[in-house]
């Protein structure tokens, strides 16, 4: 890693070294762009502190291969060869298999901590990237030629940095978004996702399970060591009670919510809780500042689309930034990027929000209609093939 620069010398500043911001940095590794990544929190010393698992589409796996991080992840990943979707207390289910697409898998599951580690290792080894951590963004101002920011670098004090483009990839509570005065539209789903690892009595057989319930979905994602990542959404009013359950009681609770297709669950890992809200930025761009990932839209996890969308946005932006040697923050370049990605972003937001409404709204007519729709889909090979292609991300555009 190169020594940190002290003056007006970056093409791209990235605020946030989470999965999306770090992916953008890795996509720019080895390019002609001079990049700095600003991150407030040092990486956790113990990867077990983050029990989340990420379901990657095939298209997302291809992005990670292109930016050079998949080799470090492959040994820790588990293929999704089958997907089973059901609705608790209702008839009808949908089963998707990789055979529908003549592929080996519909996607991959990777531990979130392993992905974060692989991305940080890649960006820290790139000669054109400076990793500034811990460093907290405290102020920014723009002019026609660039963006100037002030950061608090802890023991080393405050620093001034300047770049042609600032990318805010600093999460749902984005400091970059706040400093630019960009507002948000927020919808509270009244649900909290409780994440933990579990093991089933039966092998997971490379199957991802999603079961919709009246208080939110439960998902089970297969891990390479035989365990599963469980994502159990409950009413927020019940979240503290569920979090406080003893492990044995939580296992019974989860088994009841998810069903017994894998037998009784065992070995429940530490639980983490995440309140679920739809957060949409009122705009993605402010002059030479561009928002990315959860800074733009934080979506419901019911279709496992959040990170996949952010990763593809990052890949598309990197492609735009490298297509010539011009100004990375030029209005035309950023406008072209947004013209390409906005329709896809809107479609994902509509999908996840619609599913949240469709499956969690008690109604004497909607309930049976949902079941009939799932049954009809499961009986239609053409429809299943269409949804399998969408799940795998086949034909998605994410830059060249």
Instruction: Give the domain ranges of the chain.
Output: 8-49+114-185+278-357, 55-110+188-276
Q: Is 365 exposed, middle or buried (0-12, 13-18, 19+ CB in 10 A)?
A: exposed
DSSP SS3 for 33: coil
The count of other CB atoms within 10 Å of the CB of residue 34 is 19
Token couple for 52 = 């989340």
pTM of the model: 0.89
CA 156 remoteness from chain centre: 32
The average confidence (pLDDT) of the chain is 86
Tell me: pLDDT of 374 over 60: no
Question: How confident is the model over 33-46, as pLDDT tens digits?
Answer: 999 999 999 887 76
User: Max CA-CA distance within the chain?
Assistant: 64
Question: How confident is the model over 99-146, as pLDDT tens digits?
Answer: 877 889 989 999 999 999 999 999 999 999 999 999 999 999 999 999
Question: What's the CA angle centered on 226, arms 224 and 231, to 5 degrees?
Answer: 90
Q: Return d(Cα 182, Cα 175) in angstroms, integer.
A: 10
- The pLDDT, as a whole number, for residue 157 is 81
- The pLDDT, as a whole number, for residue 85 is 85
Judging by DSSP bridges, how do beta strands 8-15 and 184-200 pair with one another?
Answer: unpaired
Q: Percentage of residues in the chain with pLDDT exceeding 90?
A: 64
Residue 355 contacts residue 300 (beta carbons within 8 Å): yes
Tell me: pLDDT of 213 over 90: no
Tell me: pLDDT of 379 over 70: no
Please spell the DSSP secondary structure of 139-185, one letter per residue: EEEE-SS-EEEEEE-GGG-EEEEEEEEEEE---TT-HHHHHTT--EE
Q: Return d(Cα 52, Cα 108) in angstroms, integer.
A: 14
Question: What's the CA angle centered on 314, arms 313 and 319, to 5 degrees?
Answer: 100
Q: Return d(Cα 176, Cα 179) in angstroms, integer.
A: 5
Tell me: pLDDT of 371 over 60: no
Architecture of domain 55-110+188-276: 2-Layer Sandwich (3.30)
- The pLDDT, as a whole number, for residue 93 is 72
Token couple for 208 = 């991802």
- Rounded to an integer, the average pLDDT of 43-71 is 87
- The pLDDT, as a whole number, for residue 36 is 97
Question: What's the CA angle centered on 259, arms 230 and 192, to 5 degrees?
Answer: 40
Name beta bridge partners: 38. Answer: 15, 132
Q: Alpha carbon of 115 to those of 152, 230, 312, 363: distances in Å?
A: 27, 18, 15, 40
Tell me: pLDDT of 330 over 50: yes
Fold of 8-49+114-185+278-357: FAD/NAD(P)-binding domain (3.50.50)
SS3 content of the chain, % helix, strand, coil (to 5): 35, 30, 30
Question: How confident is the model over 226-283, as pLDDT tens digits?
Answer: 999 999 999 999 999 999 999 999 999 999 888 888 999 988 899 999 999 999 999 9
User: Residue 220: pLDDT band by 50, 70, 90 thresholds?
Assistant: very high
Q: Which of 26-40, 76-90, 369-383 has the lowest average pLDDT? A: 369-383
Q: Return d(Cα 263, Cα 220) in angstroms, integer.
A: 13
Residue 136 contacts residue 36 (beta carbons within 8 Å): no
Residue 53 contacts residue 229 (beta carbons within 8 Å): yes
- The pLDDT, as a whole number, for residue 324 is 72
């Amino acid at each position: 890693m190169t020594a940190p620069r002290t003056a007006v010398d970056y093409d791209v500043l990235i605020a946030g070294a989470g999965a999306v911001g770090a992916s953008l940095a890795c996509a720019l590794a080895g390019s002609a762009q001079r990049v700095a990544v600003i991150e407030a929190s040092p990486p956790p010393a113990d990867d077990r502190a983050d029990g989340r698992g990420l379901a990657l589409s095939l298209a997302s796996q291809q992005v990670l291969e292109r930016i050079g991080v998949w080799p470090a992840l492959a040994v820790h990943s588990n293929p999704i060869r089958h997907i089973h979707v059901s609705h608790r207390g209702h008839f009808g289910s949908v089963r998707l298999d990789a055979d529908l697409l003549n592929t080996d898998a519909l996607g991959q599951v990777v531990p979130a901590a392993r992905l974060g580690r692989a991305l940080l290792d890649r960006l820290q080894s790139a000669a054109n990237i400076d990793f500034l951590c811990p460093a907290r963004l405290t102020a920014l101002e723009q002019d026609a030629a660039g963006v100037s920011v002030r950061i608090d670098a802890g023991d080393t004090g405050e620093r001034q940095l300047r770049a042609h483009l600032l990318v805010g990839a600093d999460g749902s509570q984005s400091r970059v978004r706040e400093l630019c005065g960009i507002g948000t539209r927020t919808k509270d789903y009244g649900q909290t996702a409780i994440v933990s690892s579990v093991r089933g009595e039966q092998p997971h057989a490379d199957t991802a399970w999603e079961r919709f319930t009246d208080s939110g979905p439960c998902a089970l994602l297969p891990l390479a060591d035989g365990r599963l990542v469980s994502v159990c959404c409950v009413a927020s009013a019940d979240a503290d009670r569920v979090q406080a359950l003893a492990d044995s009681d939580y296992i019974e609770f989860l088994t009841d919510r998810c069903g017994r297709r894998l037998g009784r669950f065992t070995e429940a890992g530490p639980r983490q809780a995440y309140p679920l809200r739809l957060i949409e930025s009122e705009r993605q761009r402010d002059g030479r500042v561009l928002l990315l990932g959860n800074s733009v839209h934080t979506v419901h996890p019911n279709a496992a689309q959040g990170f996949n969308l952010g990763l593809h946005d990052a890949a598309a932006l990197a492609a735009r930034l490298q297509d010539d040697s011009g100004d990375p923050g030029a209005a035309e370049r950023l406008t072209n990027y947004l013209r390409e990605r906005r329709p896809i972003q809107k479609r994902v937001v509509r999908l996840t929000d619609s599913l949240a409404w469709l499956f969690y709204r008690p109604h004497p007519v909607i309930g049976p209609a949902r079941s009939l729709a799932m049954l009809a889909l499961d009986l239609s090979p053409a429809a299943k093939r269409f949804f399998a292609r969408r799940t795998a991300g086949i034909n998605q555009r994410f830059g060249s």
